[in-house]
């Protein structure tokens, strides 16, 4: 008989194993996106992914390194010796049956409004977007600066990467932390950014508890068996 405690722990472990978290790090740099000979635009990054089942998903931007609106907090989170400022913007699209993006995003966010995230933002203008019960399907998250318009994101449908007029210092870094209650597949960032798998120490802790419960039951089983009456 398998112990109830170990069984419950294994169920919890299975639920956590279906969850996923990771991050990307990149930088908005000056480019000549419109071909006019002047490098005064920057790319709108696009994260493509597939939700394998209905999920709750969070996108958390870490970008600005100086607080605003009365905040004097600073954080050189990428360690480059500079304190850059940017107003990030997120748009989430669902691809249609033809693989293209619709005219309007499903969800979007400019500012988180308050420092309630967990990735260490010091500026309320860092974006933060949580979507509950996101249906299974193919999606694109646009990562740009205020305001990233739909037509700039959708220019990639014409074989070109989305871009927008330059608004920030050169090589302004950004980090996107993603957490999903269900597994995401077909991850692809365009342009390329550094992919950072997030450690999941709690999974190992749950596994250790489950294994420990099973071992405890195995050792305790002889003492729990009913004793045979003496002849």
The more confident residue out of 49 and 17 is: 49
Whether 106 maps to a domain, the answer reads: yes
Residue 153: which domain range?
Answer: 20-199
- Residues 50-61 have a mean pLDDT of 96
Cα 19 to Cα 16: distance, rounded to the nearest angstrom: 5
Confidence of residue 10 (pLDDT cuts 50, 70, 90): very low
Would the pLDDT of 9 be above 90? no
**pTM score of the predicted model:** 0.75
Is residue 171, in this structure, part of any structural domain at all? yes
Q: How many structural domains comprise the chain?
A: 1
**C-alpha atoms less than 13 angstroms from C-alpha of 69 in its C-beta half-sphere:** 11
| pLDDT computed for residue 159 by the predictor | 44
Please write the tens of the pLDDT for every residue from 167-209. 666 678 999 999 999 999 999 999 899 999 976 544 545 555 6
**Is 26 part of a structural domain of the chain?**
yes
pLDDT digits (tens, 9 = 90+) for 87-117: 889 999 999 888 887 878 899 998 877 766 5
What is the predicted pLDDT for the residue at 150?
A: 67
- Report the chain's mean pLDDT, rounded to a whole number: 78
Percent of all residues in the chain with a pLDDT value above 90, rounded to a whole number: 32
- C-alpha closest to that of 104 among 143, 32, 153: 153
Residue 206 lies in a domain: no
Flag whether pLDDT at 142 surpasses 60: yes
pLDDT on residue 145:
84
And the tokens for 216?
């405890």
Residue 49 to residues 14, 22, 27, Cα–Cα distance (Å): 22, 13, 20
CB atoms < 10 A from the CB of 3, how many?
Answer: 17
Residue 208 lies in a domain: no
In a domain, 110, yes or no: yes
Among the ranges given (59-63, 158-162, 163-167, 182-186), the one the predictor scored with the smallest mean pLDDT: 158-162
Q: Would 155 be classed as within a structural domain?
A: yes
CATH classification at residue 182: 2.60.120.380
pLDDT given for residue 12 in this prediction: 44
Please report whether residue 149 resides in a domain. Answer: yes
Mean pLDDT to the nearest integer, 27-45 = 83
């Amino acid at each position: 008989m398998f112990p109830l405690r170990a069984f419950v722990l294994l169920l919890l472990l299975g639920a956590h194993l279906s969850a996923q978290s990771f991050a990307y790090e990149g930088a908005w740099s000056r480019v000549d996106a419109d071909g006019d000979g002047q490098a005064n635009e920057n790319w709108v990054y696009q994260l493509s992914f597939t939700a394998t089942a209905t999920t709750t998903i969070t996108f958390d931007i870490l970008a600005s390194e100086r607080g605003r609106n009365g905040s004097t907090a600073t954080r050189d989170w990428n360690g480059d010796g500079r304190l850059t400022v940017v107003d990030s913007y997120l748009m989430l699209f669902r691809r249609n049956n033809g693989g293209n993006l619709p005219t309007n995003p499903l969800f979007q966010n400019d500012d988180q409004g308050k420092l309630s995230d967990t990735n260490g933002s010091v500026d309320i203008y860092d974006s933060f977007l949580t979507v509950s019960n996101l249906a299974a399907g193919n999606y694109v998250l646009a990562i740009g600066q205020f305001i990233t318009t739909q037509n700039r994101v959708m220019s990639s449908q014409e074989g070109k990467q989305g871009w927008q007029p330059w608004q920030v210092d050169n090589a302004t870094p950004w980090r996107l932390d993603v957490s999903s209650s269900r597994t995401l597949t077909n991850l692809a960032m365009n342009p390329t950014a550094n992919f950072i798998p997030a450690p999941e120490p709690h999974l190992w802790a749950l596994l250790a508890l489950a294994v420990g419960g099973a071992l405890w039951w195995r050792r305790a089983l002889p003492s729990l068996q009913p004793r045979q009456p003496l002849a």
